[in-house]
Structure 1
């Protein structure tokens, strides 16, 4: 998965200037200051829920994610990639949000043996049922940008994918974090009714 903090930082930067709205962005790491950015910070995002509960919200964007290796256990991974997004989505809807955009995975499936993809499948099913009039589920491919932790495989694959881009199918091109952030912002601002699932081809 991408560096969630990088996508969140870009999303907040793009969202804050729109109209008179304030971008409320609970994060585990502080974002660059902006006059229209409210940024509750806590390593445990559950602790930001009381702050968020005081707000009026038009739309929600969720870029949180982890790997099982980084989360240490399957239970901790599920907490980050399933429980937290659903908790904030239900809260956002109760506070008036009409649109939601969340990052999932191209392999998300309830029936796949791979635990990571199965949790993403559960997330997609549950978040679609919460009741947002406009729901966007982003299924990116390989994502560029920096990482908070060292990932040897990505250090090899990303430069190779960039080198081979001219001969690779569009769906295998690297997805820049800035493109993902813009697609999420556009989705919640347009508030097109229904469920939408942009994939790697839409994010290059």
Structure 2
């Protein structure tokens, strides 16, 4: 039976790539995009819900589906205000996970990052770790937290800092071998395919590390029936 997907963050790189796959995949009959601004997706399967993801009252009645894909995330450069950063990177995933549980949705998948820790002295790393912990606490049956390394595959208009890191990673990816292999950069397309593979074929653990993301992405094939 075809499913209804809920996508948070479809205007971002990974969320956009995921939406493209969902449109093509016959496993999903509807793709509901919860977004603060209109997207460029125009397809009979797509339904846009223009809302404020920081205020559940603007979208909770429409939050009905089978799978939630949370691709929301910001950076220190984009959101230097720590309170707002916390509201986005912690508040949106945790609050929508709670809403999904309330609505009876049994699949919740969220993109985080490698190296997170609730004990970290660094605010941004700690915030991600606290988000992961509290999303898992919600207790949704199939909860998956994807933890990629540096995400590659951004468009040419990326920020200067990201261009520098991208150049560095093109060299480092070659020499990161053995135990260090897990730190190789991750393509956004790999994350999009891996998160869909998990939604369609659950595994028995919740935290999906970088190497497993790459492996899962190779398993995903579009159901085009």
Normalised TM-score (structure 2): 0.79
1:111 aligns with 2:145: no
TM-superposed deviation, 1:191: 3.4
TM-superposed deviation, 1:50: 3.8
Aligned to 2:19: 12
Contact 2:152–2:187 (CA under 8 A) maintained in structure 1: yes
3-state SS of paired residue (1:69): coil
Aligned to 1:37: 46
Q: Which moved more, 1:194-203 or 1:123-132?
A: 194-203
1:84 aligns with 2:95: no
| RMSD value, Cα | 2.4
Aligned to 2:185: 174
Question: Number of matched residues?
Answer: 200
TM-superposed deviation, 1:134: 1.0
Contact 1:100–1:136 (CA under 8 A) maintained in structure 2: yes
Deviation track 1:164-185 (CA, whole Å, cap 9, x = no partner) reads: 4333223232211111011111
Unpaired runs of at least 5, structure 1: none
CA, structure 1 residues 120+14, in 2 after alignment: closer, same or farther (shift >3 Å)?
Answer: same
Contact 2:11–2:35 (CA under 8 A) maintained in structure 1: no
Unpaired runs of at least 5, structure 2: 1-9, 215-225
Q: Which has the higher contact order (CA 8 A, sep 6+)?
A: 1
1:162, 1:28 → 2: CA distance? Answer: 34
Aligned to 1:190: 201
TM-superposed deviation, 1:38: 1.4
1:83, 1:168 → 2: CA distance? Answer: 34
1:200 aligns with 2:210: yes
Contact 2:115–2:125 (CA under 8 A) maintained in structure 1: yes
Normalised TM-score (structure 1): 0.86
